[in-house]
Structure 1
Amino acid sequence: MSMAPQGFMSNFNSSNNVDQSLYSNNSSSNLNRVEALRSTPLDRKAYGIGTNNLDTSSYGPSTIMQKKNPRLMTQTPSGNQFKGGNIFETTRRTTLGAGLLNTVSRNAKVVDDPRPIKSKEFMNMAKQKVSEYLTHRRFPKEINLDAHTGRFIEDCFKFLYARLDPFYTFGRKFEDDIYSILKNIKYPYLENLTKSKLRNPASVSSWPEVLAFLVWLTELNLLVDKIENDNMMGGGNESMASNSVRFEDKVFYEYLINAYPIWLNGNDEPTEIEQNLENQFLQKSQIASDENSKLEAELGELQDELAQLENHKSPLQIEEEQQIALEKDMDLLGAYKKKLELLISKTGEKIEYLDRNNELLDSDNKIIDQEIEKVNAILNEQKISIVEVGQMNSEKMRLSASLDENQQILAEKQKEVWMKETDIQKFLDTIESVDNKYNESVSQIDFSMISDINAIPTRVPNNLASNDIVASDIHIRVNLNSNDPSQIVQPPLKPELEKSLGKVRELVLFNSNLLSAATFEISEENIKLEDIKHEMTEKINELTKKCDRLQKDAEFLRSTIIEQSKIPSLEINSLENEIQILELSIGDTEQQAKESFVVCKTNLEYIKRTAAQYEDILSRELVDSLDEVLKMQNYVRTRLAESAKIIFMD
């Protein structure tokens, strides 16, 4: 595919010029050339245009040539009306014949489109035909009829119609131009189209009709191309079939003009006339023989050239060998690339392993830092605890002194309690002994012998016990004459004594309970103090042991951290250096590989493109040359046979 030209028509210039070069002959002087951009002949006079004699006897009843002054299919609203000429002065018919476009008669009534334009099969066939024609004619834009747009349809129509009339100038409203063009080239299904559909040709409702007239226009171009190729094959040499027909017609026409009046007069035919006719045919045969020998010589040269091409390596084979070598280089480059990728993967794994080790080292360093912080915190707390230990020791000493004092007081109190209990017991014993003595004395008294005894004063001593018992003077009166024993002594001593003794007993018991409670409290406090002393001692011992242990751990951690921090730092530095070296080498290798790959890919694309171009050119030239040689050979043989037949008949 060649590069896109500036406009639509430059492609037709190049393509038609190439086609003309294939059929050109430098030895012939009278060539019926065809204009590069127009399907109408350049020499209007040679094709009968410009004359008023139109012979329609050679055309069928259903052609456009039956109309008066019809417009050719290759003429558009920008052209003039057609004027026909003599049949001997034209080399081709202007009718389209019974080809791809004879779906309806030109004179018939316009009917609905019989083609299934909305069926999927027809649309696929139409897309394929239009795409193949556009590709063959080197349409300058990307061809994609499945994703068509209004702009693409407009460019496609202009490109197709430019083959028929390259000088037509489109107006501003494209739908008006399409409608006018289709009307003038007699599109048979124009009634199915409306300007609203042409205004939006890419819509779903308009696309089937648009695709239908595009494929119709493509078939029209194919038919026009076929007619032009036939004319170019027939008009390239004086010895072609069309020129042969013209020559024979002229010769026999002149012969009839000269011989017919003589024959009407009844005279004999002069020998000069037939001799002239024979000389003309002999001259024509000699020209055909010379042309045949020339064509045979050219055929021999072409065969020799073909043999040389078959014996020697063609550029395509050389390019294929270079392509094979390039593919081998590409395979080697791919293997080297795989090695690099493997090395990169291994390097990545090594980097990941080193990253994991670095993460582990970082986590270990964090743990060590946390331990250091804990040790520092403990050491800071230990500094504070030393002051507290001094305070606790002083408190311990104070508590010990207080405990000793309390123990002394407790001992004294216990002694006092014991003394009071002893005194109380002695007092109780004295009371009991007195009571016993009283009972004994009372039992020994002889009441009959005793007279009235007034009162026996008795005084109870004060302070019988350590407690404050107040004794009052008791006046006792003894009546020995009383019959009631309870009335012998007035007042009765026993109840009073029992009451006093009860009070003394209660007082003694109360004091004893108080002493017991005080003793118990003192003993409890003593026990608490002992416990506190024991706990403080244990705590001091534990803190001392912990402090020693933490100091040892701190020293060990300091030494371990110092040793371990040296080794990872060295390893990390070495690993970082290795990683940098690997990254640099990998980067250089990747850059070289990318550059080599791009260069190889570019060379491969260039070689493929060049090979395709060479192959296309060689195949096209070879096929065209062989076709031309075969056609010329067949034509020469036919003309020789016809000439020989005419000569022998004469």
Structure 2
Amino acid sequence: MNDPSSILRRNNGHRLSVAGATRSSFRSSQFETGSAKRKSLLSTPASTKRRQSSLPPGSTPSSSQQLHSSQQQQAPVTASPSVIDPRPLRDKNYISLLQQEVYDFLSANKFEIESGGHPLTQRTLRQPTQRDFVVVFQFLYHKIDPFHRFTKTIDNEVFILLRTLNYPYLETINRTQIASVNSSNWPAILGMLYWLVKLNLSLADLTIDGTDPILVDDQLDQIFIDYIRQSYRAFINNEDDYSPFLSNMKEKFDEMTKGIIEDIGNLEIENQQLQTQLDTLTKELSILEQSELKSKALESDLVKFKAYIETMESRKLKWSDVLDKIREEVTNCEKELIELESDKQRCQLELEVQGHTPKDIDGLYTERDKLTRLIDVTNSRIEELENQLRIKEIECQRGFESLDNFIKQYNAMVYRMGTASASSQVDKDGNNSNSNSYELTLLVNLPTSKPLLPADIINKTISSQKVQLLQYKSQINTTIHKHQDDSIKLQEQLDLMSEQITEKREEIETLEAKLSANKTTYDEIYETMTNDTTTYSMQIEKLERELRSIKINTNQGLIEVENRSQAIQIEYDELIHQIQAERSTLHDRVQRLIEFTIGFKINMQQNLEDLESLAIQESN
């Protein structure tokens, strides 16, 4: 039953193998229109798996004897998460042998022609690009299933096809590596391509009783070759009538066409029956799956609720004290709420008596907010103007002080020249006149409504003062002798004044000593006050901390209840997460069970087909 010949079907007196369709992929000729209706090699997954599991070792190049575990690749098995690729894919010599094997296979099967002119060199398999990998994979897979069309993204397509072919080391590669082939992940990809090459070679070497499988195309070619051979013999024998050969060829073609049509009808009927059975089994399986999921979920929920009830019963004893505290706090809060409600009603009555309404108060609050914002804007503007005015005042003050110092220096010089009493000097006519007064005075009340002039700042003009100084110079020359006489008297007066100044200085020193003593006393008193202030501040902070601790202790009961509520919520979330994880695990187990059931069903159907074929053979 496991022999490859058991999967053959009878068609018009010839034995036809579905696996023989693989041989047609190695031919460069075009398919006939009728052969386009042939089913894909992978359209029946179970039969494909059966053929793969029963493949004999294929003929490989001489270097294949050096490839470790190549025999295992010819009989693919279902990969499991624990499968580890035993091939030394990191060995450079082994990688070179794989590259040579793949290169020889691609070259022998006209890769460049069938791939639309894609270049093939040793560098293509040594440093491949993503495009090189995609073209090579599509070429190798089309050798297995020439009717497949690549419509999805390359990573999804490759992963699904390798899983369909039961690539034994599927867990060693991932979608990211397939979507981005580079030098780091190329050894694993090259191992996968070599496995496809070995699979192609094994399918190409399938035989039936030591002979090559006969295809529909092979029969058509044989009939046509017979016609050509007979016509050529007639041509050699100088016979011009080829109509008997042509009519014979047409009759054989008609017979084959009828057989193919009958086979197609039988296959369609069989396909409909299998589809009906598949739909029935799918419905039954879905009902069973839902029932199992509900049963397991209910059992799990029951166990968890029992554990939860036990936990809550153990915690119930502790809740009584907490509930008492909460009731006391609730009672206090209700009393405070009643008091606040009474205060609120009293305030509302007072406002009604005064003739105010809540809307009026809200309007006043709104107006006050607007006025506050306007005041803030005005204050900010005033502050800016004050800053500018302050800067200008400082500049003016500096100029004023500079001018004042200059005038003081000038007046001092005038005083030193003996003109300090110029305002009280008597002129030559004996009249007391201020015309010879050379002292300058800085005006305080300055006009602000017009630009300032020199005459507005100083009480005299500089030009007139200069003329008076020149006149006074001539007077000095006449009065200098008189002043010399007066200087002696003034010197005596100066000595007397010096003695008085010395006495005043001694008094000043005495006062300064008293001031220093008073300052020391002040510093001591100030330091004592500072220490007392610090002590009081520390006491205030201590009292504030005690107040905060009292508030914390007051709210501790509520915080404990909130913490317990959060803990219960966390446990609930964990239970939800565990339920979801168990559901996912059960879903995967059911999916594997479905796959196993479908595979078992299809294998049973295939065995029945084999038994039917064997019965037909024995009856013939």
* Structure-1-length-normalised TM-score: 0.29
* Structure-2-length-normalised TM-score: 0.30
Q: Greater Rg, structure 1 or structure 2? A: 1
Return the structure number with greater helix share: 2
Higher RCO (C-alpha 8 Å, min separation 6) = 2
